[in-house]
Amino acid sequence: MNVGIGARVKRKEDKRFITGKGKYTDDVRVENQAYAAFVRSPHAHAKVKGIDKSAALAMEGVIDVLDGGQLTGDGIGNIICGWAVTSKDGSPMNMGPWSALATDRVRYVGDAVAVVIAESQALARIAAEAVEVEYEVLPAVASAAKALAAGAPQVHDNAPGNLIFDWEIGDAAATDAALAGAAHVTEISLTNNRLSPNPMEPRSAVAIYDAAEEHYTLYTTSQNPHVARLVLSAFYNVAPEHKLRVIAPDVGGGFGSKIYIYPEEITCLWASMKTGHSVKWTGDRAEAFMTDAHGRDHVSTARIGFDANNRITGFKVDTIANFGAYMSLFSSAVPTYLYATLLSGQYDIANIHANVRAVYTNTVPVDAYRGAGRPEACYLVERIMETAARELGVDPAELRRINFIRAFPHQTPVIMNYDIGDFEANLDQAMAAADVAGFAARKAEAAGRGKLRGLGYSSYIEACGIAPSAAVGSLGAGVGLWESAEVRVNPVGTIEILTGSHSHGQGHETTFAQIVAERFGLPIENVAIVHGDTDKVQFGMGTYGSRSGAVGMSAIVKAMDKVEAKVKKIAAHVLEASEDDIVIEGGEVKVAGTDKAMGWHEVGLAAYTAHNLPPEMEPGLKESAFYDPANFTFPAGTYICEVEVDPETGTVEIVQFTASDDFGTIINPMIVEGQVHGGIAQGVGQALLEQVVYDDDAQLITGSFMDYAMPRADDLPSYNVNHASTICPNNPLGMKGCGEAGAIGSPPAVINAITDAIGNNNLAMPATPLAVWKAIQAAG
Amino acid sequence: MTEVTMTVNGRKVRRDVPDETLLSEFLRESLRLTGTHVGCDTTQCGACVVHVNGAAVKSCSALAVALDGAEVTTIEGLAPNGELHPMQKAFNDNHGLQCGFCTPGMIMTSVDMVEKAKAAGKTLTEAEIRHGLEGNICRCTGYHNIVKAVAQAAQEM
Ligand code: FES
Ligand code: FES
């Protein structure tokens, strides 16, 4: 059976999950286990005047109650944003202080003020209720636009007017001139709705302090345990890196929200040292809504100009991005370098200018959520293209075709250099698979049943493979974004791959093993993937931004190149042949054109017995590599959504969802399709169902699954997923990344379809039945 | 503290627990059967579904002390002889899981759904499977492959 590149290999990791043997952080329980519960602010904005711990401390089984004064007093550092973005006037971004436990002021509902450590989880929670915090309530603001208005409540003293930065990209004058000279200008204003990532596993931490060694171990729900260790050491001063081990075991989904190092993990580590107990915290869903970084929340206006031949001449964008109460780890990069750099979409646009204002509000911090900036860009570009097509009276597919970039590499006016793609191939494939030709008949048939049928396109592009370290460094990133890998061939010939990528659903234990099995002709069972433990894997940047394939696997390939070179040297020496004549095939290392061969395991054994190695060669067979990408990768494609709307109720049914993606080389189509399915579901969730709501006092209204509509099985269709690929020229396997495409490409396709069906272009996400019904009424 | 006796995965167990202990906590903390997951606090997500006296129940919504004498099957007990249950196999065959967190609840719900349909002599349609999964949230898979898995297992069970 073929298990190599392109094979639909069933997942090796499934067995433990389907039998209930997965090991997630909350499943970890150690000796001397104590439990943490946080005392959280019920106010969106308040001064902390005093904390009375006496009632809680008097409870039997309460070990301690700790507060922000003690935490900062012990030198625990403020939580930081790791990407410096500079305002257009040259001033640095205004980052306000964020202590893991608030000291004098709370800035959003859920901001942690103190922590109770107790002998049971139930007791810790009861005791947390008994901690009395005296607040002086301050006026609060939830909306970014309102936060910018004169007289708005000030969230941080060092960010006047709540402005974190006022940033721009592109040539404003040239873009204005292009729009002034355009034959037609289309204008649009829209909101990209605020979302809660909601991985099904709540965040959790188990911190263990070994006083004799002054050493900490942290089990945590992280997408990037090494980054967590780095930040905890270098910035939060919890412990130096060699005294801190971070383990991210099985992690139940992340979608961005488990990239960041949150107050709870920091506090648990510190509290384990303070109390001498191992400290465990597992959030409940209410805490997830209240503390996991939210996503999106942009308000934008945009203008796009066309010449008389319907070619785009200029595109101008103004965006306000809500950052919440504090700057989360990558927050500043999301609405800038991950957003405005993708505003060219799939189109040849000579002039683009975008201005982005980042704003503090009294809400949960906002950071990367599946797609991170690229969905916001795609939604804006693809909504305005569809709108323009309607205004111009041009078929929306045709308007896209007229403007597609056709020659590569293509330098956009907003930094990105697209390396390769064939946008028309994806459009054609999607149109054929969706039977666009038959749509008119289906629409007429639906009309006979009293239903409004509509069809919407979205031709998305994104930048993945994040990212060339020097490039992101020049743009303000505080870290390099390479990946590392180690290939260990054991004396019996089995292989362990140690990777800095982290799997929390992506199936690395299978796909990473596939590329090794293919390369050395070994059974996939002989390859094990090791990840998620800073004591085992030397370093890694983790998994986000669809980077595990394009960056993580590239590092494995580089390490395999080194292993292969050494294997060939050993075999050439033993078999008395020239290195150039050695080939590795089907688990054998052979001299080409002869019957001289060694088994793969024999080479492994030879390397470790070291009885007969080439002169000067070190024993052993283990190689490592760091891979720094040469460019971003550019997954792209076209999605077509077909809906039926019930005009009586406003209910939307997605009757067909068709995708054509270009992900470059695909290692395992089954897993890639699964990623697309999940991404589309999240995008459809954003388009139809999901919305974080705050009231005017910045109280969180959507604090549970009763109030926040998650997509469920009967809200969604089956998906028609197709691939038309171009091979990425910038990494050894030709991969582009597939993890975010579905969430990026699908929202505009859904809204374009509904607005097509109802004949009113003015419809915001989420398109709930009420919103759609109102839009139908407004259209008359 | 109240003494509770149950048969869990075929084994008789007896524990003293506080009266407010949920079945999910009893399974996870007292018995250390951590395959049953907790994904919410409002009985909405279904990550915690187990079988109680043969029917699917959200274990976060039942008190352990109220189930004295009950027969409980968790995900760990679905394949007692080590051979996968057809539903477990179908989830693997169809890539019906990614992070695996919703999976135990999905599988336990699906087994109950198919068994009930069989008992009623019915073949489940895609729409019925989707409706039957309404109480179980998955954030990873978009449900496409879960629906396929349940349909396959329904053929094989
Ligand atoms: S944990 Fe039981 S339904 Fe969510
Ligand atoms: S597989 Fe991750 S929530 Fe379902």
- Among residues B52, B78, B104, the one where a domain terminates is B78
Structure tokens at A136: 């002086």
**Same domain, yes or no: A43 and A114:** yes
- Inform me whether the pLDDT recorded for A15 exceeds 80: yes
Flag if B97 and A742 touch (Cβ within 8 Å). Answer: no
Question: How many angstroms separate the Cα of A494 from the Cα of each of A564, A621, A733?
Answer: 14, 11, 23
Among protein residues, the one with the nearest Cα to ligand 2's atom 3 is B138
Please state, in angstroms and rounded to a whole number, the distance separating the CA atoms of residues A632 and B19.
56
Average pLDDT (A322-343) is: 97
Closest approach of B101 to chain A, Cα-based (Å): 5
Q: Read off the pLDDT of each residue in A338-351 and give the average, rounded to a whole number.
A: 98
Atom index in ligand 1 nearest the CA of residue A285 equals: 4
* Interatomic CA distance for residues A191 and A144, integer angstroms: 11
pLDDT tens track for A550-589: 999 999 999 999 999 999 999 999 999 999 999 999 899 9
Do residues B100 and B131 both lie within one domain? yes
Band (A110; pLDDT cuts 50, 70, 90): very high
Q: Are residues B42 and B93 in the same domain?
A: no
Give the end-to-end CA distance of chain A in Å, rounded to a whole number: 60
The answer for A 129-168 residues in CB contact with B (under 8 A) is none
CATH of the domain at B139: 1.10.150.120
Is A66 domain-assigned?
Answer: yes
Q: Is the CB of B137 under 6 A from ligand 1?
A: no
Residue A1 has pLDDT above 70, yes or no: no
In a domain, A195, yes or no: no
B146 and B124 in a common domain? yes
Residues A309 and A269 in one domain: no
Return the pLDDT at A546. Answer: 83
Whole-number pLDDT of residue A315: 98
What pLDDT is attached to residue A2? Answer: 84
Q: CA A632 to CA A630: how far, in whole Å?
A: 7
Instruction: Judge: B95–A284 Cβ closer than 8 Å, yes or no.
Output: no
For B32, the closest chain A residue by CA position comes to: A27
Residue that is last in its domain, among B26, B54, B78: B78
Task: Using the predicted structure, report yes or no on whether residue A123 has a pLDDT greater than 90.
Answer: yes
pLDDT in tens, A429-474: 999 999 999 999 999 999 999 999 999 999 999 999 888 898 889 8
Task: Please count the other Cβ atoms lying within 10 Å of the Cβ belonging to residue A213.
Answer: 8
Angle A434-A438-A443 from CA coordinates, rounded to 5°: 100
Q: pTM, whole model, 2 decimals?
A: 0.97
- Would A198 be classed as within a structural domain? no
CATH code of A603's domain: 3.30.365.10
**Is A356 in the same domain as A339?**
yes
- Domain shared by A306 and A325, yes or no: yes
The verdict on A592 and A645 lying in the same domain is no
Q: Cβ(B112)–Cβ(B136) under 8 Å?
A: no
> Do A121 and A256 reside in the same domain of the chain?
yes
Work out the average pLDDT over A90-115: 98
Q: Distance, CA A443 to ligand 2 centroid (Å)?
A: 35
A3 found inside a domain: no
Residue A127 banded pLDDT, cuts 50, 70, 90:
very high
pLDDT of A32 > 90? The answer is: no
Question: What is the mean predicted confidence (pLDDT) over A322-329?
Answer: 98
Residue B30 and residue B92 in one domain? no
Low-confidence ranges of chain B (pLDDT < 50): none
Question: B125 CA to middle of ligand 1, Å?
Answer: 26
Q: What is the CATH number of the domain that holds B54?
A: 3.10.20.30
The model's confidence at residue A31, banded by pLDDT at 50, 70 and 90, is confident
Mean model confidence pLDDT for chain A: 96
3-state secondary structure of A638: strand
The answer to whether residues A668 and A514 touch, using CB atoms and an 8 Å cutoff, is yes
In a domain, A436, yes or no: yes
Task: Tell me which residue has tokens 């060219």.
Answer: A344
- Say how many domains are in chain B: 2
Both A711 and A646 in one domain: the answer is yes
The reply to whether B98 and B134 lie within a common domain is yes
Predicted confidence at residue A478, as pLDDT, reads: 86
Residue ranges of A 508-537 with Cβ closer than 8 A to chain B: none
Of A627, A656, A688, the residue that ends a domain is A627
Calculate how far, in angstroms, residue B135's C-alpha sits from the geometric centre of ligand 1: 9
Of B43, B78, B113, the residue at which a domain comes to its end is B78
- Asked whether residue A53 falls in the same domain as residue A114, the answer is yes
Residue A389 belongs to some domain of the structure: yes
Query: Domain residues for A713?
Result: 298-466+631-779
Instruction: Kindly state whether residues B15 and B72 are assigned to the same domain.
Output: yes
User: Which residue has its alpha carbon closest to ligand 2 atom 2?
Assistant: B99
Q: What is the pLDDT of residue A412?
A: 98
A185 in a structural domain = no
Indicate whether A598 and A647 sit together in one domain.
Answer: no
Residues of B in contact with A23 (CB under 8 A): 34
In this structure, the answer to whether residues A263 and A383 fall within a common structural domain is no
On whether both B91 and B55 belong to a single domain, the answer is: no
3-state secondary structure A451-500: CEEEEEEEEEECCECCCCHHHHHHCCECCCCCEEEEEEECCCCCEEEEEC
Listed by number, the residues of chain A in 638-677 with a beta carbon closer than 8 Å to a beta carbon of chain B are: 670-671, 673-674, 677
CATH of the domain at A127: 3.90.1170.50
Q: Total domain count for chain A? A: 3
Return the pLDDT at A764: 97
Q: Say how far apart CA A345 and CA A328 lie, in whole Å.
A: 27
Contact A177, A163 (CB under 8 A): no
Instruction: Answer yes or no: do B12 and B71 share one domain.
Output: yes
At residue A780, does pLDDT exceed 80? no
Whether the CB-CB separation of A195 and A113 falls below 8 Å is answered with no
Chain B residues in contact with A27 (beta carbon < 8 A) = 28, 34
What is the residue range of B115's domain? 86-156
Q: Are residues B115 and B63 in the same domain?
A: no
Q: Tell me: do A262 and A312 sit in the same domain.
A: no
Residues A667 and A709 in one domain: yes
Confirm whether A527 is domain-assigned.
Answer: yes
- The pLDDT of residue A480 is above 90: no
B9, B73: one domain:
yes
